[in-house]
C-alpha cells in the first residue's frame, strides 16, 4: 500500500498529487507521505533505563522528522518475545528493534563485542571505538548477512558485580558458586569453578531467596532496586567486571532503511547517537539515587578482592581468545576490539581514572 502510494507520487509529481488530495500546506504535503514504523524491543514496555531509552529514540525520530517518520515502540512480548527481536527485524516483521547485541551470540559469535565483554571497554572507550575506530564499520559488516543495519543507541555504564549471599574473599569462594550470570560472564565463572545459571528476570528474586542460587548479577542500582534484590541478598558487590559498559543497539531492517530518503536515514543515525548519550546520563542520575537508597537501607557494599579480579581477568582473556577462533569475522572483530582497548586504556587510566582516583 505504502509502496503503491510512493510510486504514484513519483510518477505524477508531488505538487500535482497534493493538489488532487487537496492538501495545501507543507504540513499536509508531508503528512500525505507519512511513514509509520514499528520498533520491537527486548524490554518490558517503559522498563526503567532500557525501555525508556527505546521511547526516547522513537521520540527523537518523530521530532526530527516533523512526524514524517513515526516510530511506535512495542514492549517485549507485545509482538515478539524479548529474544525474538533480531529475527523479527531481520525478516522485516518490524522495521526497527532495540536490544543488546550480546543476545545474538547464537546467530554470530562476534555480536558480543558490540555490547560488552568481560573486562572490556567502558562506555567512553566503546563510543570511541564505534564512532572513531573500526567498531561501527565492523558491526555493519557482521549484521549485513542478516539484513540488519546496527546503530549504537544507549549505554548503561559500568554495571554492578551483583548480589551475593556468600562473601567472596578469595578465588576459592568462586568454587561451586551458583550464580545467575548469562553469556560470557557465565562462561568465565564456569571456568573459575562456579556454576552459572541463565534465568529470566522474573525468576531471579525467588531463586535467590530460596537458595537455588547463591548470587545474581542484574544491572545496577537503579534496575536492581526496582527488583527488590536487596531483600534477597546480603552483599552487593562491585565492580561489574563482566559488563563494564554495555552498548545498547538499534537495529534497522536493511530494505526498510534503504527505502528511506538520505535525510530520514541521517535522522535515524543522529537520533541514535543522541539516544546513546541520553541513556547513560539517565542511568548516572538514577543509579546514584538508588545507591543512596541502598545506603539508607544499610545494604552491605563489597568490593571484589584484587586476587579474584586478576583471576577472572585472566580467564576472560582466554574466553575471548576462544571466541576469536569461532570464525573469520569473529577473529577480525576480536583483533580490532582488543587492539583498540589495549591502546586506549593507558589514556583512560591517565585521564578519567587518573582524576577520579587522585584523591582516594
Restricting to residues 33-92, which ones interact with a copy of itself according to CB under 8 A?
33, 60, 63-66
Provide, rounded to whole angstroms, the least separation between the CB of residue 93 and a copy of itself. 28
Provide, rounded to whole angstroms, the least separation between the CB of residue 49 and a copy of itself. 11
Using the minimum distance from each CB to a copy of itself, give the nearer residue, 87 or 134: 134
| Whole-number Å distance between alpha carbons of 337 and 37 | 33
Provide, rounded to whole angstroms, the least separation between the CB of residue 76 and a copy of itself. 24
Using the minimum distance from each CB to a copy of itself, give the nearer residue, 327 or 351: 351
Provide, rounded to whole angstroms, the least separation between the CB of residue 343 and a copy of itself. 5
Q: Which of residues 145-164 bind a copy of itself (CB under 8 A)?
A: 157-160
214 in Cβ contact with 164 (< 8 Å): yes
| Whole-number Å distance between alpha carbons of 73 and 89 | 13
Q: Which of residues 231-260 bind a copy of itself (CB under 8 A)?
A: 238-241, 244
In the stretch 329-358, what mask flags binding to a copy of itself with x, by CB under 8 A?
A: --------------xx-xxxxxxxxxxxxx
Using the minimum distance from each CB to a copy of itself, give the nearer residue, 170 or 351: 351
Count of CB atoms situated within 10 Å of the CB of 54: 31
Task: Work out which of 304, 311, 337, 338 binds a copy of itself, going by CB under 8 A.
Answer: 304
| Whole-number Å distance between alpha carbons of 249 and 100 | 5
DSSP symbols for 259-299:
HS-HHHHHHHHHHHHHHHHHHHHHHHHHHHHHHHHHHHTT-
* Residue 127 binds to a copy of itself (criterion: CB under 8 A): yes
What's the helix, strand, coil split of the chain in %, to 5?
55, 15, 30
| Whole-number Å distance between alpha carbons of 173 and 235 | 14
* Residue 172 binds to a copy of itself (criterion: CB under 8 A): no
Provide, rounded to whole angstroms, the least separation between the CB of residue 1 and a copy of itself. 20
* Residue 266 binds to a copy of itself (criterion: CB under 8 A): yes
Q: Retrieve residue 7's grid coordinates.
A: 510510486
Beta pairing partners, 69: 35
* Residue 307 binds to a copy of itself (criterion: CB under 8 A): no
In the stretch 184-203, what mask flags binding to a copy of itself with x, by CB under 8 A?
A: --------------------
CA dihedral 207, 227, 183, 123 (to 10 degrees): -160
* Residue 261 binds to a copy of itself (criterion: CB under 8 A): yes
Using the minimum distance from each CB to a copy of itself, give the nearer residue, 9 or 326: 9
Name, in order, each residue with C-beta under 8 angstroms of 46's C-beta and a sequence gap of 6 or more: 52, 55, 75
In the stretch 6-25, what mask flags binding to a copy of itself with x, by CB under 8 A?
A: -------xxxx-xx---xxx
Of 169, 62, 86, 159, residue with least CA distance to 117: 159
Task: Work out which of 48, 208, 278, 334 binds a copy of itself, going by CB under 8 A.
Answer: 278
Amino acid at each position: 500500500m505504502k509502496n503503491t502510494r510512493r510510486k504514484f507520487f513519483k510518477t505524477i509529481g508531488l505538487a500535482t498529487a497534493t493538489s488532487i488530495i487537496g492538501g495545501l500546506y507543507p504540513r499536509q504535503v508531508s503528512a500525505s507521505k507519512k511513514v509509520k514504523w514499528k520498533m520491537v524491543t527486548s524490554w518490558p514496555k517503559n522498563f526503567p533505563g532500557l525501555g525508556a531509552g527505546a521511547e526516547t529514540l522513537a521520540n527523537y525520530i518523530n521530532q526530527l522528522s516533523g512526524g514524517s517518520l513515526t516510530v511506535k515502540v512495542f514492549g517485549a512480548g507485545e509482538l515478539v518475545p524479548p529474544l525474538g527481536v533480531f529475527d523479527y527485524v531481520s525478516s522485516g516483521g518490524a522495521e526497527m528493534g532495540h536490544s543488546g547485541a550480546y543476545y545474538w551470540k547464537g546467530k554470530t559469535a562476534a555480536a558480543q563485542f558490540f555490547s560488552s565483554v568481560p573486562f572490556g571497554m567502558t562506555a567512553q572507550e566503546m563510543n570511541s571505538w564505534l564512532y572513531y575506530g573500526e567498531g561501527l564499520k565492523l558491526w555493519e559488516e557482521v549484521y549485513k548477512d542478516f539484513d540488519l543495519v546496527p546503530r549504537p543507541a544507549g549505554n548503561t555504564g559500568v554495571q554492578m558485580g551483583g548480589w551475593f549471599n556468600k562473601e567472596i574473599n578469595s578465588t576459592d569462594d568462586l568454587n561451586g558458586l551458583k550464580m545467575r550470570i548469562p553469556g560470557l560472564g557465565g562462561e568465565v565463572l564456569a571456568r573459575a569453578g562456579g556454576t552459572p545459571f541463565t534465568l529470566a528476570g522474573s525468576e531471579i528474586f525467588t531463586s535467590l531467596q530460596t537458595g537455588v542460587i547463591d548470587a545474581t548479577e542484574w544491572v545496577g542500582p537503579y534496575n536492581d532496586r526496582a527488583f527488590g534484590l536487596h531483600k534477597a541478598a546480603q552483599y552487593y558487590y562491585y565492580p561489574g567486571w563482566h559488563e563494564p559498559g554495555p552498548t545498547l543497539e538499534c537495529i534497522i531492517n536493511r530494505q526498510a532503511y534503504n527505502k528511506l530518503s538520505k535525510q530520514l536515514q541521517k535522522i535515524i543515525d543522529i537520533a541514535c547517537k543522541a539516544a546513546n548519550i541520553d541513556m547513560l546520563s539517565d542511568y548516572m542520575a538514577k543509579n546514584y539515587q538508588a545507591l543512596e537508597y541502598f545506603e539508607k537501607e544499610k545494604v552491605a557494599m563489597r568490593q571484589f578482592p584484587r586476587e579474584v579480579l586478576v583471576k577472572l581477568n585472566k580467564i576472560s582473556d582466554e574466553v575471548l581468545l576462544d571466541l576469536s577462533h569461532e570464525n573469520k569475522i569473529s577473529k577480525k572483530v576480536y583483533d580490532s576490539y582488543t587492539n583498540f582497548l589495549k591502546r586506549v586504556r593507558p589514556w583512560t587510566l591517565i585521564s578519567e581514572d587518573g582524576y577520579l582516583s587522585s584523591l582516594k
